[in-house]
Structure formats: structure tokens, C-alpha cells
Chains A and B, each alone.
Chain A
């Protein structure tokens, strides 16, 4: 069974640009959540999707958005990039969400560098 796949693994952008990150969950998993990890702020929750609906959202500005497709694949987009957006973006999937099924399966992350 394939794990959670995140693409691209590494990318470099400049301030003001936008970026789209992709996450393919484990087959059969319907919940996908996104996290931003930085040395200063640690792991911060961005949002969680279940069956194409956003169920939870963290405290990030509107420049951060996401969506989930009918096949459970998810994308997140960051517009008007700032230097502070440089981070490791992690995607996690679970069967029905961390409350119901608990364990989150993480991808290896997409490391974004904003210059």
C-alpha cells in the first residue's frame, strides 16, 4: 500500500509569487490535513478536509487556501508569498479523521524556500 505522497519535495520561489502543493493520501483515506513546520513556530495546523469539505481551519491568513478532490487528493495554495512562508509543509491522511480513527499518516513534506 503506497504511503502519503507529497509533490514537489523541494521548491524555491520569490516573494510575491504563488505556489501550489499537492498531496495524495493513502488509498481509502478520506481525511487530509495540512501543517506548516518552521523552527520558530513548530508544527502549526493549516486545515483539514474530509470528503471535499473543509472541516477545520487554523489561524492562517487568507493567502493560504486548500481544496480536496473527489478522489481525496488535496492541494494547498499560498498566494503572494512572503519570506516567512518558508517552511516544511506536511500533509497527513487518515481514514475518517483524528478523532474517529486516530493515527495520522504523514508524507515526507514539501520544503518551500521563499527568496
Chain B
């Protein structure tokens, strides 16, 4: 079974609202990353958080990591239509094994 599981599977919000996606995983990790994918294209790296970090910010993105609960969340503030995409969390073990979750499909309605 997959290491990461995103929740919700799909999310539809109005432009300007905040979007929150959650990721749960099962085993120990070295770091956790979030990626965005626009319709059938390659993935774009958004942010990385290491196992000894609890929160990171990058522009309108905020990521939290709770290793005791084996979960992470990605918050996109003040969403824009251009944020419409699929978002994936990826867990990285100490042996460079990367496991992606099933993704959250985000639709931002103008």
C-alpha cells in the first residue's frame, strides 16, 4: 500500500479562499515534499520539510509536519485560478525511496 495518503481526494473552492490538503504516512521519513502537477504534465516541486522541522513557509504556501501523528498538511492561502492542479505529497525514506500519495485535485473557481 502507498506510504502517503492525501485527503481530500478533490477540493473545489472560490478564488481568494484558502485550500488545505492533508497527507498521512506510515513509516519513518527523512523528509516530506509537496508537488504540483498540471493536467498530465511533469510534477513541480513546491516545498520540502525535514523530519526535524514542524512548519515551513514559502510565499502563499505553509506546510506543517507532525511526526508523532505521521501527518502533514499543505495550506495555500488566497488561492488563484492558476492554482488549479493536482497536489501530491511525497515521503522520502533514509534510503532515497520516494513514495507519492494519490493526490488531491484542487479546482479554484474564478
What's the A-B contact tally at a CB cutoff of 8 Å?
A: 71
Is there an interface contact between B97 and A45, defined as CB atoms closer than 8 Å?
Answer: yes
Asked whether any CB of chain B lies closer than 8 Å to the CB of A63, the reply is no
Is there an interface contact between B103 and A98, defined as CB atoms closer than 8 Å?
Answer: no
Is there an interface contact between B103 and A99, defined as CB atoms closer than 8 Å?
Answer: no
Is there an interface contact between A31 and B96, defined as CB atoms closer than 8 Å?
Answer: yes
B3: shortest Cβ distance to chain A, in Å?
A: 10
Asked whether any CB of chain A lies closer than 8 Å to the CB of B33, the reply is yes
Q: Report A-chain residues with C-beta under 8 Å of the C-beta of B43.
A: 90, 92, 104, 106
Interfacial residues of chain A within 33-66, with CB under 8 A of chain B in the complex: 33, 35, 42-45, 48, 50, 55-56
Asked whether any CB of chain A lies closer than 8 Å to the CB of B94, the reply is yes
Is there an interface contact between A99 and B99, defined as CB atoms closer than 8 Å?
Answer: no
Asked whether any CB of chain B lies closer than 8 Å to the CB of A84, the reply is no
- Report A75-103 CB contacts with B as 1/0, cut-off 8 Å: 00000000000001010100001111011
- Report B90-102 CB contacts with A as 1/0, cut-off 8 Å: 1011111111111
Is there an interface contact between B88 and A56, defined as CB atoms closer than 8 Å?
Answer: no
Given contacts A42-B103, A98-B92, A99-B31, contact A104 B98 (CB under 8 A): yes
Interfacial residues of chain B within 1-58, with CB under 8 A of chain A in the complex: 2, 30-31, 33, 35, 40-45, 48
Is there an interface contact between B96 and A43, defined as CB atoms closer than 8 Å?
Answer: no
Nearest CB in chain A to that of B92: its residue:
A98
Nearest CB in chain A to that of B47: its residue:
A103
Is there an interface contact between A99 and B95, defined as CB atoms closer than 8 Å?
Answer: yes
Is there an interface contact between A56 and B99, defined as CB atoms closer than 8 Å?
Answer: no
Is there an interface contact between B42 and A103, defined as CB atoms closer than 8 Å?
Answer: no
Given contacts A56-B96, A56-B97, A105-B45, 16 further A-B contacts (CB under 8 A): A4-B42, A42-B100, A43-B100, A45-B97, A45-B98, A48-B96, A48-B97, A98-B33, A98-B90, A98-B98, A99-B31, A99-B95, A103-B33, A103-B45, A106-B42, A106-B43
